[in-house]
Chains A and B, each alone.
Chain A
Amino acid sequence: MSAIPTSWERIREEFPILDQQVNGHPLVYLDNAATTQRPRSVVAELDRFYARDNSNVHRGLHALSMRATDAYEGARARLTRFIGAAAAEEVIFTRGTTESINLVAASFGGANLRRGDVILLTEMEHHSNLVPWQMIAQRTGATLRYVPVTGDEGLLDLSDIDRLLTPEVKIFAFTHVSNTLGTVNPAADLCARARRVGAVSVVDAAQSIGHMPVDVGAIGCDFMAFSGHKMAGPTGIGVLYGRRALLDAMPPWQGGGGMISAVDFFESRWKPSPERFEAGTPNFGDAAALGTACDFLDALGRERVREHDGALAREAYERLAELPGIRLLGPAGERGGLVSFAFKDVHAHDVVTFADEDGIALRGGHHCNQPLMKKLGLASTVRASFYVYNERREIDALVASMRRTLRFFAG
């Protein structure tokens, strides 16, 4: 089940999808912040699971059901180690980051928020770490506050944090790495600050989990959310990590099979976590393959993944900075594996269309970050995001494509 040790030298061979022509050019895939590609080992695990072990989990007494249960619970144990959680009961499988945050908001937020309470967010949150909090605030009468972003350099402005992070704050939810700015936030420091005022911390790790070592103990968060498809794993599977003591006190958020210990016609009792939060048939096939994605990343070494992706992003930032009329977002120094930028005279969607003609996959738009874009006075940016298989020559291709586009629109 475990991945063949992966070498950096031959890494592109692990990703057959990269070996194709797009519009007559070799594919340059720089849309990894939206979704990464999956290595052969992950695809093989999906294939193996469905070809050999597929059966419903937990409820069966026959051989296949036991194997499927082992694969599913084995994946949970693998994810537990991957993020340094204290116990497998702290790892809940969800559809992804969005569902994980909705779960915390509805269950923990629904049970604990009162009128007068405050949910603290930051101005750089993805819509999925913003809308669920707006919804639960409306339901409970809690209000929202935001830690501001400094401007184009995209750092959290912590100068006023003590006036924002007050004892009324019950939940502090923030992103570890910004999907629009590339900023790496000081997660451990922010969680410690939250703890000091008695607030629960929720870390959106969607953009960090596949790119750097992420350890819930070292970060000291109460909850963490992430998606498999942004860490070389399958779509439709993700994780909510929660501290055991908090999870045990939380009500279920969906009802159904698998999450009850006893059902009567008029009431039911809940199983403990994680089953309490996994009503219905879970996505065990993709969970198994997500475990394989963990093997893949650990074989590469997550510290080296961080260095690799960060170095590419920094180099791209420096080279793009030479282009006329460009506005680069996010910090100039340390950043996650992406760069985001806008040109004065050419709209992001036109840039992306031209890049596509050169075989380069980029993303243009508001990146589910509309309030931040509005604050920065931008309608959209172009984003290039890197992963383990990207190479420096792909930055050459990116810069050349940008120059061609600028020439064309300059007329």
Chain B
Amino acid sequence: MSADLSDLYQQVILDHNRRPRNRGKLPTANRSAHGDNPSCGDQCDVFLRLDGDRIAEISFDGSGCAISQASASLMTTQLKGKTAAEAEKLYADFHEIVANGKEPEEISDLAAFAGVHAFPARIKCATLSWHAALNALHGEPVAATTESHTD
């Protein structure tokens, strides 16, 4: 397998794809948002229970490639317990990782997504769930679509 492809499909990603964390509807959610990639058909719903400004609980549901499923799963583990501002900051870091391959300053599982930047067509797979999560966080009624966001 080529270096690029093994960078893309890192163990962490395969693991989250095989055993997604926090998958399914969250019965206690008080916020949710839907995201889709019209060009490839990927779908993702993100459910949040906000406790004040803090994400007390989070889950996702949806279908898509290994990158999108692993990204959604890993995201839920990263965002749980974070404030809105912290979530924004995490997404900014994550975006640097997937779009530019920039390693994060602190050790983080998110670094597993650095290989995505060599596959520009897959960046939107990795960011879809994050768009949905941020929309849910901001209580935006619209569905997230990565095609109208700049990746």
Contacts and interface: CB of A to CB of B under 8 A. Distances in A.
B14 A409 contact: yes
Interface string B23-51: 00000000000000001111100000000
A366 B41 CA distance: 6
Contact of A380 (B5, B40, B66, B69): B40
Nearest to A374: B41
Most buried by A among B9, B40, B41: B41
A54 interface: no
A365 B65 contact: no
Given A349-B40, A353-B5, A380-B40, A411 B119 contact: no
B63 A379 contact: yes
A47 interface: no
A348 B67 CA distance: 12
A73 to B, nearest CB: 39
A409 B9 CA distance: 10
Nearest to B4: A357
Interface string A334-352: 0000000000001111100
A347 B64 contact: yes
B5 A365 contact: no
A116 to B, nearest CB: 33
Contacts of A346: 66
B125 interface: yes
B66 A409 contact: yes
A366 B14 CA distance: 24
Counting chain B CB atoms within 10 Å of each CB, the highest count among A350, A366, A408 belongs to: A350
Contacts of A235: none
Interface residues of A, number: 20
Contact of B119 (A348, A353, A364, A365): A353
Given A370-B41, A411-B18, A347 B65 contact: yes
Given A347-B64, A357-B1, A409-B66, A365 B14 contact: no
Contacts of B5: 353-354, 357
A376 to B, nearest CB: 12
Nearest to A351: B65
Interface string A4-33: 000000000000000000011000000000
Contacts of A23: 2
B66 A373 contact: no
Nearest to A370: B41
Contacts of B79: none
Given A347-B69, A366-B41, A409-B66, 19 more contacts: A347-B64, A347-B66, A349-B40, A349-B65, A349-B67, A350-B9, A353-B65, A353-B119, A353-B122, A357-B5, A365-B40, A370-B41, A379-B41, A379-B42, A379-B64, A408-B1, A409-B14, A411-B14, A411-B18
Interface of A: 23-24, 346-350, 353-354, 357, 364-366, 370, 373, 379-380, 408-409, 411
15 contacts: A23-B2, A346-B66, A347-B65, A347-B66, A349-B122, A353-B119, A365-B40, A365-B41, A366-B40, A370-B41, A379-B42, A408-B9, A409-B14, A409-B17, A411-B18
